[in-house]
Amino acid sequence: MKEINNETKNLLYFEKDLKDLYQKITELQKLSEKEDLNLEEEIRMVKKRIDTMRQEIFNKLEPQQIVQVARHIMRPSTLDYINFIFEDFIELHGDRNFGDDKAIVCGIAKLNGQSIVIIGHQKGHTTKELINRNFGMAHPEGYRKALRIMRMAVRANKPIISFIDTPGAYPGIGAEERGQSEAIAKNLREMSIFTVPFISIITGEGGSGGALGISMGNRVLMMEYSIYAVISPEGCASILFRDSSRANEAAKVSKITAKDLLGFGIIDEIIKEPIGGAHNDYEATAKNIKTAILKNLNELSKFSPRELVADRYNKYRKMGIFTE
Partner 1 sequence: MSIHEWFLRKKTEKQQKNGASERLNIPENLWLKCPSCKSTIYIKELNENLKVCPKCDFHFRLSASERINLIIDSGTFKEMSITLKSTDFLGFVDSKAYNKRIDEAILKSGLNEAIVIGEGLIENIKTVFGVMDFSFMGGSMGSGVGEKFTRMIEHSIENKIPAIIATSSGGARMQEGILSLMQMAKVSAALGRLRENGLPYIVLLTDPTTGGTTASFAMLGDIQIAEPKALIGFAGPRVIEQTIRQKLPKGFQRSEFLLEHGMIDLICERKDIKSTLAKILRFFEE
Site size toward partner 1, by CB under 8 A: 52
Residue closer to partner 1 (CB basis): 40 or 177 = 177
Candidates 84-92, 124-132, 237-245, 287-295: pick the segment binding partner 1 (CB under 8 A).
237-245
Q: Is 172 in the site for partner 1 (CB under 8 A)?
A: yes
Q: Does 316 bind partner 1 (CB under 8 A)?
A: yes
Under the criterion CB under 8 A, does residue 176 sit at the interface with partner 1? Answer: yes
* Amino acid symbol at 42: E
Cα-Cα-Cα-Cα torsion 237, 239, 240, 243, nearest 10 degrees, comes to 50
The widest CA-to-CA distance across the chain, in whole angstroms, is 77
The distance of Cα 164 from the centroid of its chain, to the nearest Å, equals: 5
Closest to 230 measured CA to CA, from 275, 266, 180: 266
Q: What are the DSSP calls for 13-52, one per residue?
A: GGGTTHHHHHHHHHHHHHHHHHHT---HHHHHHHHHHHHH
Task: Say whether residue 189 binds partner 1 (CB under 8 A).
Answer: yes
Please identify which residue in 87, 177, 299, 307 interacts with partner 1, judged by CB under 8 A. Answer: 177
Cβ-based nearer residue to partner 1, 209 or 274: 209
Which of 25, 149, 256, 300 contacts partner 1 by CB under 8 A?
256
* Shortest Å, Cβ 256 to partner 1: 7
**Nearest C-alpha neighbor of 80 from the set 279, 243, 224, 273:** 279
Please say which residue, 39 or 220, places its beta carbon nearer to partner 1: 220
| Residue 64 binds partner 1, judged by CB under 8 A | no
Q: Which is nearer to partner 1, 18 or 250 (CB)?
A: 250
Distance (Å, whole) CA 298 – CA 312: 16
Options 111, 149, 169, 201; binder of partner 1; rule CB under 8 A: 169
* Integer Cα distance of 257 and 205 in angstroms: 10
213 binds partner 1 (CB under 8 A): yes
Q: Please tell me whether residue 320 binds partner 1 under the rule CB under 8 A.
A: yes
Q: Where are the beta strands (DSSP E) in 143-215?
A: 160-166, 198-207
Q: Binder to partner 1 among 208, 218, 280, 285 (CB under 8 A)?
A: 208
Count Cβ atoms within 10 A of the Cβ of residue 113 and give its class: 0-12 exposed, 13-18 middle, 19 or more buried. exposed
Minimum separation from the CB atom of position 98 to partner 1 (A): 12
Name the residue nearer to partner 1 (CB basis): 69 or 236: 236
User: What is the end-to-end Cα distance of the chain in Å, rounded?
Assistant: 54
Q: Is 193 in the site for partner 1 (CB under 8 A)?
A: yes
Phi, psi of 88 (to 5 degrees): 55, 40
Residue 324, amino acid = E
43 vs 188, beta carbon nearer partner 1: 188
**For residues 75 and 69, what is the distance between their CA atoms, to the nearest angstrom?**
8
Q: Cα 155 vs. chain centroid, distance in angstroms?
A: 27
Closest distance of CB 35 from partner 1, Å: 55
* 182 near partner 1 (CB under 8 A): yes
Residues near partner 1 (CB under 8 A) are 169-173, 175-182, 184-186, 188-190, 192-193, 208-209, 212-213, 216, 228-231, 236, 239-242, 253-256, 261, 264, 266, 312-313, 316-317, 319-324
